[in-house]
Chains A and B, each alone.
Chain A
Amino acid sequence: MTKTTQLCTFFLDNLFLGIEVENVQEILRHQEMTRVPLAPPVVAGLINLRGQIVTAIDLRRRLELKPRAYDPLPINIIVRTPDETVSLLVDEIGDVLDVSDDDFERPPDTYRGGVRELIQGSYKLPNRLLLFLDVDKVVDFTVMD
């Protein structure tokens, strides 16, 4: 009996990423943002989510990918963590997938990059790898700066 997990998947640059679906509150089209001067560059801005102010995190910068081209506009994945609600900016949204824990594997030993701790591992899907993101660590970047 293998355990399956439901992942909300999305695309970023040429990566195929997923987070646990329980963490996702909602998915929104591009929202108008207010920039925050002097904030770390990872912070894309603040958005108004029905009266609640939510910090938007540029996931490309967070994962040290190259900056986004202007078109198309990023999509907000509103994510809830124990501490707060944040928005992750991604390129494109994918399906919710059921993945089996049998297919999970830790990151390869040769994988370096400063973002190693953000990616828990990957699920080996038939045609490509689905990288499993650690939401709590993605959101917690005050330490980094």
Chain B
Amino acid sequence: MIDAIRDHFESLETTGEESSRDRTALFNQLNALPVENGERIKDEESQSKTESVGGHSYPDLSVLCQDLNEKASHPQVSIANSPSANSHVCQDTNPPASANPQTSNSTSPSPITNSAIRVDVNLLDKLMNLVGELVLCRNQILEFANQQAVNAEHDDAFKSASGRLNLVTSELQEGVMKTRMQPIRTIWSKFPRVVRDLAVSLNKQVQLEMEGEETELDKTLIEAIANPLTHLVRNCLDHGLDTPDMRIAAGKSQVGRLLLRAYHESGHVNIEVSDDGKGIDLENLKQKALQQGIITPTQALHMTEQEALHLIFLPSFSTSETVTNISGRGVGMDVVRANIERISGTIDVESRLGQGTSFKLKIPLTLAIIPTLIITSGGDRYAIPQVNLLELVRLDREQAEQRIEWFHGTPVYRLRGNLLPLVYLNQVLQLENNTGVQESSGIGKTSNAKKQSLIPEQEDETINIVVVQATEKPFGLVVDVINDTQEIVVKPLGKPLKSLACFAGATIMGDGKVVLILDVQGLAQKTLITSPEKEKALVNEDSQSVNSTAIPQQLLVFHAANQRRLAIPLSKVSRLEEFPRDRIEYLGDQEVIQYRQHIMPLIHLSAVLSNGYSEFQVRDRQSEISEDKQPVIVVSLQGDKQVGLVVDQVLDIVEQGINIKGVSPQKAILCSAVIQGKVTEIIDVHALIEQGLSVVKPMLV
């Protein structure tokens, strides 16, 4: 019958008109449905439909309404499955108007015709802004009330007044927020069809269960999670659920179970997508990650279960052997996570082999007003969203000296046995400290200098650590003062400041001052990547978070300088050449070669990199290795200038992300990394030329 309706709508779409007889036939069909509640609503709905177009009951108009209904891209299956959803869809058809979501609740006892009004979304937005202002105003008054506590006479009256203001504002805020709320049913209603179609094409049997359909979320959030949720559902069907044969073999019922569950919990909406399928095989996962070069064998060995599970969120990671039109391309889960994080939500995964997988999404109720922790650093206040907050740690001077330890120049704190990397907010933001001891750039200093400035000078001073979590790994944010928690209204930053990753926005505090909201994720990205020392610490502790950010690069790997394994970015290389040894000429002390009508200087990597060798020894060494041919990597500089790097042997070209394992003591070496399972040093081309060509540099420039 659903297909009948579908055909019906399709013909509507193509022809654009239809006789009223067909429609009544359809309605008869629909009325024949054994849903008693649905009948009532459909009747009323068809009434309201015709009313909504001005009290005329022209069949064409209601047909038009249905046509719109179809174009709103809500699947028709909802009509059969959930009549209330259908009524909602119908109200939602006119683009400028937003239906009041409460009315779509079929359990509501009030008559449907009167309880729904159409409100312009822009008007709602404006209302929302106004309430935001009111919240700020309330904060201001509350602060004022606290200050005036000395003045006893008017005290009580004023306090009660401000108390009432507090109450009213909160209620108003809640009420206005609700106008933007929509039940999660709006997205779930299309899942039965998605699931059924997919199950048929995958030859699996699935029973879809939904709990908490009436859980409400902000309209913008509903829109934002629709795609990630669909992806999760498809993933669960494709990867999670096993085939009927496998299920029977595993002693489970033939029909798989897919459960969607939504519920409120402490200011958040939790959404769970779980299946009772085969679960995620962690060993298989690790093997795949190893094959794809995402992790190293040692990492795989030391990985916790949770860390291994989080591999599925890495970009371009896929466990699927084959690419189908459903999945296997390796994009998806990372995008899902990015989308969820963009709306300040979190995603977590639990899996038991053979028993099933469950994804848990934690979504904030609304984005406009968020609870935050206000802290002070470098004399300014900042707000940290409480979604990112794990706990607060306070250390006095004595404890700080004992418990803050140094991991090769990087401060860490032992939090219940685990090392928590510390990030000093005033350093990250390059704020001058109040004491003025410390210069703005904390990075690259010796650990001693750091240590001095980080341990508080006075006896009574304490160290406040805000433990935050942006991705899977928490870190400690060291701040000067922890002030208060406060609900704030998020305001966007101006266009020129949008590029600052560290800030998510700004807000206005009770005293009228502007306070910046920290973006913990941006902060993490900044601190965990730009500082090589800190990165190193993190790599050793947990390379996963760093791995995920390494961008694959093409590298040319070669041997040079006493068989050292070196690499250079392929983008810098213009050609690989082999020159007969006798073509090398001299320009003063500099070896040069005539190459394409230019005089190209040659750099002996051995000379630059091995401080101990004199150039003659080096040359002798090389003439032993190869008699008459000299491999040269031609590196192009700006313009048409070129430099030749004299190497022993060109090995390979690899493409992979560089996982920096250490800072090199030598200037011309950018860093060292593990490439193809061997330690390889990556050359800093500019520093190399600087060092190796001081003589002929004028010739190049």
Contact code string A22-46 (vs B, CB < 8 Å = 1, else 0): 0000000000111111111011011
Chain B positions within 8 Å of A139 at CB level? 496
Q: Which residues on the A side are within 8 Å of B136 (C-beta)?
A: 51
A84 to B495, CA, bound (A): 7
Most chain A CB atoms below 10 A, which of B133, B494, B503, B516: B494
CB distance from A76 to the nearest CB of B (A): 14
Q: 0/1 per residue, B508-539, Cβ < 8 Å to A?
A: 10001111100000000000000000000000
Given the known interface contacts A35-B380, A38-B502, the answer about A48 and B512 at a Cβ–Cβ threshold of 8 Å is yes
- Are the C-beta atoms of A86 and B499 separated by less than 8 Å? no
Residue contact B513 to A38, C-beta cutoff 8 Å: no
Q: CB distance A84 to B494 under 8 Å?
A: yes
Interface residues on B, range: 20 to 34
A53 adjacent to B496 (CB under 8 Å): no
Is A83 in the interface zone, CB < 8 Å from B? yes
Type the 1/0 row for B485-506, where 1 means its CB is closer than 8 Å to any CB of A.
0000001111111011011001
Interface string of B623-645 (1 = CB under 8 A from A): 00000000000000000000000
Q: A34-B515, A36-B503, A42-B496 are in contact. List 8 more A-B contacts (CB 8 A).
A: A37-B380, A37-B429, A37-B430, A43-B496, A43-B497, A51-B133, A53-B514, A86-B494
- Nearest neighbor of B429 in chain A, beta-carbon distance: A37
CA separation between A42 and B497, bound complex, in Å?
11
Asked if A122 is an interface residue, CB under 8 A from chain B, the answer is no
24 A–B contacts from the bound complex (CB under 8 Å):
A32-B513, A34-B380, A34-B513, A35-B380, A37-B431, A38-B500, A38-B502, A39-B497, A43-B496, A43-B497, A47-B514, A48-B508, A48-B513, A52-B491, A53-B507, A53-B508, A53-B514, A55-B496, A139-B496, A140-B496, A141-B496, A142-B495, A142-B496, A142-B499
Interface SS, B side: mixed
Q: Which residues of A contact B132 (CB under 8 A)?
A: 51
* A33, B513: Cα distance in complex, Å: 8
The distance from the CB of A129 to the nearest CB of chain B, in whole angstroms, is: 29
Within 8 A of B (CB), among A96-145: 139-142
Q: Are A55 and B493 touching (Cβ within 8 A)? A: yes
Given contacts A48-B508, A51-B133, A53-B506, is CB(A36)–CB(B516) below 8 Å?
A: yes
Contact of A38 among B429, B493, B515 (CB under 8 A): B429
Contact assessment for B430 and A38 in the assembled complex, using a CB-CB cutoff below 8 Å: yes
Residue of A nearest to B507 (CB): A53
Bound Cα distance A85, B315 (Å): 38
B378: chain A residues at CB < 8 Å are 37
- In the assembled complex, the Cα of A37 lies from the Cα of B433 at a distance in Å of 13
Q: How far is the CA of A142 from the CA of B513 in the complex (A)?
A: 25
Chain A contacts for B133, CB-based, 8 A: 51
Contacts of B492 in A (CB 8 A): 53
Specify which chain A residues have a CB less than 8 angstroms from the CB of B512 in the assembled complex: 32, 48
A63 within 8 A of B: no
In the complex, the answer to whether B494 meets A55 with C-beta atoms within 8 Å is yes
CB-based contact A53/B429 at 8 Å:
no
> A54 CA to B495 CA in the complex, in Å?
10
Q: How does the 8 Å CB contact mask read for A52-79 relative to B, with 1 for contact and 0 for none?
A: 1111000000000000000000000000
Note all chain B residues with C-beta closer than 8 A to A34.
380, 506, 513-516
A interface residues, tally (CB under 8 Å): 27
Contact mask B375-396 → A, CB, 8 Å, 1/0?
Answer: 0001010000000000000000
Specify which of B132, B380, B496, B508 lies most central, judged by the most chain A CB atoms within 10 Å of its CB.
Answer: B496
Which residue of chain A lies nearest to B133 when distances are taken between CB atoms in the complex?
A: A51
Cβ contact within 8 Å between B491 and A54: no
Answer whether A54 and B494 are a contact pair too, CB < 8 Å, given A36-B500, A37-B502.
yes
**Which residues of chain A have C-beta atoms less than 8 A from B499's C-beta?**
142
In the complex, which residues of chain B have a beta carbon less than 8 angstroms from the beta carbon of A54? Answer: 494
Which residue of the partner chain A has the closest CB to B491?
Answer: A53
A39 touches B500 (CB 8 A): yes
Interface string of B351-384 (1 = CB under 8 A from A): 0000000000000000000000000001010000
Tell me how far the C-beta of B325 lies from the nearest C-beta in chain A, rounded to whole angstroms: 41
- B351 CB to closest chain A CB, in angstroms? 40
Tell whether A55 pairs with B497 under 8 Å between CB atoms, given A34-B513, A46-B514.
Answer: yes
Please, how many angstroms separate the alpha-carbon atoms of A34 and B495 in the complex?
A: 17
Measured between alpha carbons, how far is A53 from B514 in the docked complex, in Å? 7
The interface residues of chain A lying within 8 Å CB-to-CB of B503 are 36
User: In the assembled complex, which residues on chain B have CB atoms less than 8 Å from the CB atom of A37?
Assistant: 378, 380, 429-431, 502
